[in-house]
Amino acid sequence: MIKRNVMITGFKEAQEFNRICSHFECDMDLLQGKYIVDAKSIMGIFSLNLEEQLELVANSDDEVLIDDKFQEFIKKR
């Protein structure tokens, strides 16, 4: 399981994030506070507050691939 802090700042970014998630076979979730949504669901993404940080949880072991595909969304510390 891989966890990354991500930021999705608008409609087009949400669509792109959703498109990338849809290409993965594994489960992909977004967490925000007490809410957990399927990251492959555009409606789920839009149910979250996109002005706040989100946590991507990918049920995968391929950290390099996740980091590569989501590099523009991963929040740098």
Q: Which pTM was predicted?
A: 0.87
Express each pLDDT in 17-74 by its tens digit: 999 999 999 999 999 999 999 999 999 999 999 999 999 999 999 999 999 999 999 9
What span, in angstroms and rounded, lies between the C-alpha atoms of 72 and 35? Answer: 23
Beta-strand ranges (E) seen in the chain are 2-6, 28-32, 35-38, 54-58
Q: Which domains does the chain have, with CATH numbers?
A: 2-69 (3.30.1340.10)
Q: Which of 13, 50, 60, 11 is nearest to 30 (CA)?
A: 50
Q: Which of 4, 69, 15, 75 is nearest to 45 (CA)?
A: 15
